[in-house]
Amino acid sequence: MKWPFRALLAASLCFAGLWEGGIASTRDTQHRAGLVVDYGDGTVTYAVVPFDEPGISGIELLKRSGVSLVTVEFGGLGEAVCTIGERGCGAGACRRRVCQGADPDSPFWQYFRLSDGGTWTPLVLGASSSTVEDGSIEGWSWTGAGPGLPVVDLNEIEALLEIEPSVEGLSNASSRTFDASGQVIGSESRRSSMLSYAGAVMVIVALMGVAGLLVVRRTSRPGARE
């Protein structure tokens, strides 16, 4: 009988359809936000972070970006950023003065958002209380004065990260760090959504292989009939 092969083939095709539908659904609901981190010495990290929620907090965006991060909790005030990468201070100093020295102009990690008019605006309520929406550009600057952050839009950040415009869904965040001369000194590789397609194809091939073995075993048995 040929029903095992036909049944498994139908199941595999159905699975492929569900898989594709799931990917399409993810693409339909996925949002992206940009992140710019200025370390105060000419080094800048750019990142694009995908998320499925209507909005996430600024601290969550920073965590999902993949940058090395140290934060401390301040109860109902949320989390303070102590260190990004290798720039900042330890948790003890962070709890006392949020890394700022005695000089009022000494640097600490300040949080900004790029407005539609191309101005970096400080978010004084903190990253735990902010809401990052689709298309937002968030910035962190190690500074005691103005933001000093480059003005870029999301398309420009994606170009710096070499994210193809045709890629509709990102599996995870992508980031790249540049030194003062513009040379790349670190990057986080981006997994293409094509990996999901590859996984689906592998499962389909495996199912069809099992179906083929069932047919061979059945037809090789004495007295087996179609």
- 28-51 pLDDT, tens per residue? 578 999 999 999 999 999 999 999
Q: Give the model's confidence band at 60: pLDDT under 50 very low, under 70 low, under 90 confident, else very high.
A: very high
pTM greater than 0.75 (yes/no): no
Q: What is the pLDDT of residue 40?
A: 96
Q: Give the model's confidence band at 219: pLDDT under 50 very low, under 70 low, under 90 confident, else very high.
A: low
Question: For the chain, what percent of residues have pLDDT higher than 90?
Answer: 57
- Residues 85-103, mean pLDDT to the nearest whole number: 91
Q: Give the model's confidence band at 24: pLDDT under 50 very low, under 70 low, under 90 confident, else very high.
A: very low
Tokens 């140290």, located at residue: 70
How far does Cα 200 stand from its chain's mean position?
A: 22
Question: CA separation (Å) from 56 to 131, 149, 205, 206, 223?
Answer: 6, 22, 38, 39, 64
Question: Is residue 22 predicted with pLDDT exceeding 80?
Answer: no
C-alpha to C-alpha distance for 123 and 112, rounded to whole angstroms? 6
Q: Give the model's confidence band at 186: pLDDT under 50 very low, under 70 low, under 90 confident, else very high.
A: confident
